């Protein structure tokens, strides 16, 4: 399957940002661990978040879904042992979060996923959970899925490197309230993607659990219980980045609603990036206004805390004047694909002069049409689509994976750009 993206001149209108994938994952799991019935309003139902929902159901959670609301009857922290292996498809977030949560079931849980997911690193989380009394192994002893977890989270002292994935940290924190004794977690080395951990702590607080954090590298969670609540999922800056970037690169007058001004999401950095590239941005409490003229210039961007923005910024660099230098994002190599290498490869296929660096890319504008591949990565599809809107003639192979995070992406783009 493939799609051909046509060149357009403008993007105009008003659109709601998709619900946050990160907040939906966290709310689904925490509500499943809570005591009582929670209502998650305006959640994202995508391939990734549904993997988390299905895993929670397999662990004994009573879940009823509606278009704008998800009703979750929590388990009070006592998961059932699944009847079968849990296949979390391509959702790295589900794999990481459930790696700890499965220790709250009484017997053995096996977590696996597709071929891509089975390349994602898990050893550091395994090592950290073992220090908390969890019996957990990689079935092939290679630090990757399938992962086998035996029920039993004792608590105590543990540590984990902060430069691989913030999802490891979030995983331990979310399950920590149900350990037999307090959990003390130390982050060693560089602490990347910190905003995602701040998001986790915020959701935990909404469900009544307190995390003690020294603001640097130590967390402490006392034994507690999540309490059911009504939780509203905010809009997703990660997914909205493609709307914002498209508006920045074209003649535009676009309003994106449901984006909180004071959001803890690190990916709201996209607003500063497109401003620096020459686009006009205005924001109020719950929406962003983008006025673009289509002429952007290259910038230097540190994506240490926001690696998911790498494909978006690389695409902007490919259609901007001058050179864009992206750095600080070596951990983007550990996503659905090695995004640094994949971006370098596909931008080259579009005639862009691009240099692959250890922790990022150097991109010189000048993209043109051509054939590219998604690498089965939702963010690659949407980023390459942006280039197609600007230059035309971009054919994307295997594009359907955008369903992972933004199920109606193509429909929204076609409506806003009036593509026929």
Catalytic residues, which ones? 308
Strand partners, 235: 19
Helices (H) and strands (E) in the chain, counts: 12, 23
CB burial of 223-239 (b: ≥16 within 10 Å; e: otherwise) equals ebbbebbebebbbbbbb
Fill in the DSSP letter of residue 220.
E
Quote the CA–CA distance of 161 and 379 in Å, as a whole number. 26
Quickly list DSSP for 72-116.
EE--TT-BPPPSS-EE-TT-HHHHHHHHHHGGGBSSEEEEE--TT
User: N- to C-terminal Cα distance for the chain?
Assistant: 19
Q: Is 47 helix (H, G, I), strand (E, B) or coil?
A: helix
Cα gap 137→344, rounded to integer Å: 35
Alpha-helical runs (H) found in 148-255: 166-175, 194-206, 237-249
CB burial string 319-353: b at 16+ within 10 A, e below: bbeebbbbbbbbbbbbbbbbbbebbbebbeebebe
Contact 226, 37 (CB under 8 A): no
> Angle at the Cα of 358 (from 333 to 404), degrees rounded to 5?
20
């Amino acid at each position: 399957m493939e799609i051909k993206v046509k060149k357009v001149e403008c993007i105009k209108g008003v659109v709601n940002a998709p619900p946050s994938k990160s907040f939906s994952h966290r709310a689904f799991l925490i509500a499943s661990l809570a005591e009582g019935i929670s209502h998650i309003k305006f959640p994202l139902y995508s391939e990734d978040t549904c993997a988390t929902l299905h895993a929670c159901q397999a662990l004994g959670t009573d879940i009823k879904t509606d278009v704008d609301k998800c009703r979750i009857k929590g388990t009070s922290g006592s998961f059932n042992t699944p009847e079968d292996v849990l296949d979390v498809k391509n959702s790295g977030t589900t794999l990481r979060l459930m790696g700890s949560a499965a220790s709250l079931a009484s017997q053995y849980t096996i977590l696996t996923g597709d071929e891509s997911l089975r390349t994602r690193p898990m050893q550091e989380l395994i090592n950290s959970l073992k220090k908390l009394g969890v019996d957990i192994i990689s079935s092939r002893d290679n630090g990757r899925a399938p992962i086998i977890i035996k029920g039993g989270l004792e608590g105590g002292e543990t540590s984990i490197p902060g430069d691989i994935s913030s999802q490891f940290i979030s995983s331990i924190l979310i399950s920590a309230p149900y350990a037999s004794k307090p959990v003390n977690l130390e982050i060693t080395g560089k602490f990347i993607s910190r905003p995602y951990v701040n998001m986790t702590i915020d959701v935990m607080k909404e469900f009544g659990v307190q995390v003690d954090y020294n603001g640097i590298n130590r967390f402490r969670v006392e034994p507690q219980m999540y309490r059911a609540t009504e939780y509203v999922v905010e809009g997703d800056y990660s997914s909205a980045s493609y709307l914002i970037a498209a508006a920045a690169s074209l003649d535009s007058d676009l309003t994106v609603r449901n984006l909180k001004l004071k959001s803890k999401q690190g990916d709201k950095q996209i607003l500063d990036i497109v401003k620096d590239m020459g686009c006009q941005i205005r924001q109020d409490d719950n929406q962003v206004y983008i006025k673009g003229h289509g002429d952007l210039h290259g910038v230097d961007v540190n994506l240490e805390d926001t690696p998911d923005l790498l494909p978006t910024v690389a695409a902007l660099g490919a259609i901007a004047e001058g050179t864009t230098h992206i750095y600080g994002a070596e951990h983007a190599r550990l996503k659905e694909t090695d995004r640094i290498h994949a971006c370098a490869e596909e931008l080259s296929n579009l005639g862009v002069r691009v240099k692959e660096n250890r922790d990022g890319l150097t991109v010189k504008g000048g993209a043109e049409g051509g054939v590219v591949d998604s690498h089965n990565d939702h963010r690659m599809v949407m980023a390459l689509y942006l280039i197609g809107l600007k230059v035309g003639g971009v054919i994307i192979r295997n594009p359907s994976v955008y369903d992972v995070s933004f199920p109606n992406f193509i429909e929204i783009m076609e409506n806003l750009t009036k593509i026929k």
